[in-house]
Amino acid sequence: MTHFVWILCIIMIFMQGGFARLFYEIKHILDSKPDAMLLNAGDDFQGTYWFTLLKDKVMSKFINMLPNDAHTLGNHEFDDGVAGLVPYLEALRDPVLVANIDTSLEPTLNGLYKPHVVLERKGRKIAIIGVTTPDTKMLSNPEGVRFLDPAPIVKKEAQLLTDQGVDIIIVLSHCGLYVDKAMAKTVGENVDIIVGGHTHSLLWNGTAPSHEVVAGTYPEYEEADNKPGHKVLVVTASAFSKYLGYIGVDFDGNGDIVSFEAQPVFLNRSIPEDPEIKEALKPYMEKINEIVKEVVGNTSEDLSLNACSYGECALGDIIVDSFLDKAKQKNPTNSTSFSYIMKKMIRTDIKKGDITTGDIMNVQPFASVIWSYKIQGKYVKEALEESTRRSDLQASMPQVAGLKLTINTTSKEITVLVKKGDEWIPLEDDEEYQFTTPKYIKQQFEPLNANAKDISLVGIDFEIVKDYVKKITPINPLLDGRLTVIS
């Protein structure tokens, strides 16, 4: 006799619009497949303003409206530190699974999560093991939580469950598609399915209806090194509630996969929004609107985005100055500090007059993580040179704080001075500096990516800019000559 298991998977819930639609679709599927399992692959606390503005109480209220069978934790769940995570986990009704963390130094988390759970469907035991990404250390603010390599932990847990006679084993992972595929291969001998999140990868056969890049077929398979012929199904479904992961697997009496049906559900406007959820979200939407309208400062002149393509601009100065200011508060150092972004990371203007929280969120809409790290001068110079050699120099135009940068657009040569005390001196190749940039910048430039040391979190871009606008308002935009572009 075979046994069919339906699994639905959600990743990175997007509240506005998306949640009511997601809820509708899950209910709709559960009406015809009441045994389907609903797994949450993490990052409920994402950088969008729902979480940032309303925090964990609202998130847990809505997440508890879904009949989740299990959650794992995403890196974003640690964004407000351990003190921010504890009340969220306490409020969640369904089990939270993370096998690869050690919270002995953060005992308030003890008892709020477990390594695995064994569920039953039609009398058949199904185990779920949770794991999350060790990169949380760099991406978020987990304080004393220690992260262990997920692969050996999955191997150990799956063996333990197999020894207990459980022959259907699912790994719920927030480690990213590439790690999930590697785990399927290296430690997948007792694992049947890996349901993942984190990399926002979309798996889809053919061209995706959302027109995003497709990272592979749905599902992907990997054969386990230690059990030839045993294939592990690996699925993930993008992010921000754009898709609902959907897979049905038929298992034989030994827990081996006989066949499967799989196709993620694209949650576009054809899927109705659940009216009850829409109603329940309403007061929060109003609250959000109030917060977004809050005046946090003012400027005597327009802060133009267009100007940022050609050289120094007041808007760029404010953003990088804010990153540098916050980095100095959060990660004090005796090293010379500077900061850098590219023009394309600034998304719109701010008009003369009052500046609201919403204005700042429109300028920095991606809720990017800002890091500071130690790095030698030569690597910073290589990264800046690379950005000025790009064919899209206007979009890649540097905006800098703590540096005096000259770019010759004909020769593509740059000169870089750094501020030491009150003096401007040349950047030294072997000197170690503190550099503060969005995570995106570090990942874009190999010299930074390969050589950054002691990475630590500064915060989320728009929150940092908002604090700084409050601090320096009223703003009378003046350029100070930190960037010179010779053409």
Interacting residues with ligand NAG (CB under 6 A): 205, 209, 217-218, 262-263, 266, 268-270, 298, 332-334, 408, 410-411, 473-474, 486
Please state, as a whole number, how many other Cβ atoms lie within 10 Å of the Cβ of residue 470: 11
CB of 235 to ligand NAG, least distance (A): 11
Distances (CA, A) of 274 to 20, 271, 288: 5, 9, 20
CB of 473 to ligand NAG, least distance (A): 5
**Strand pairing partners for 132?**
174
CB of 271 to ligand NAG, least distance (A): 8
Q: Where in 243-352 does DSSP place strands (E)?
A: 243-251, 257-262, 265-266, 295-299, 337-342
CB of 484 to ligand NAG, least distance (A): 9
CB of 175 to ligand NAG, least distance (A): 22
Indicate the helix (H) or strand (E) that contains 444.
helix 439-444
The residue among 391 and 410 lying less far from ligand NAG, judged by its C-beta, is: 410
CB of 261 to ligand NAG, least distance (A): 7
The residue among 227 and 412 lying less far from ligand NAG, judged by its C-beta, is: 412
CB of 450 to ligand NAG, least distance (A): 25
The residue among 122 and 269 lying less far from ligand NAG, judged by its C-beta, is: 269
Say how far apart CA 422 and CA 480 lie, in whole Å: 14
The residue among 16 and 162 lying less far from ligand NAG, judged by its C-beta, is: 16
The residue among 298 and 444 lying less far from ligand NAG, judged by its C-beta, is: 298
> Could you tell me if 456 and 372 are in contact, meaning their C-beta atoms sit under 8 angstroms apart?
yes
Reduce the secondary structure of 233-258 to three states and give it as a string: EEEEECCCCCEEEEEEEEECCCCCEE
The residue among 376 and 388 lying less far from ligand NAG, judged by its C-beta, is: 388
Q: Which two tokens stand for residue 340?
A: 């850098």
> Could you tell me if 196 and 234 are in contact, meaning their C-beta atoms sit under 8 angstroms apart?
yes
At 131, give phi and psi (nearest 5°). Answer: -145, 155
Say how far apart CA 355 and CA 471 lie, in whole Å: 13
| Local structure of residue 431 (DSSP, 8 states) | -
CB of 209 to ligand NAG, least distance (A): 3
The residue among 93 and 471 lying less far from ligand NAG, judged by its C-beta, is: 471
The residue among 136 and 331 lying less far from ligand NAG, judged by its C-beta, is: 331
Reduce the secondary structure of 454-474 to three states and give it as a string: EEEEEEEHHHHHHHHHHHHCC
Q: What is the dihedral of CA 182, 8, 86, 76, to 10 degrees?
A: 50
Q: Which residues contact 56 (CB under 8 A, 6 or more apart)?
A: 45, 80, 84, 85, 87, 88, 91
The residue among 80 and 321 lying less far from ligand NAG, judged by its C-beta, is: 321
CB of 335 to ligand NAG, least distance (A): 8
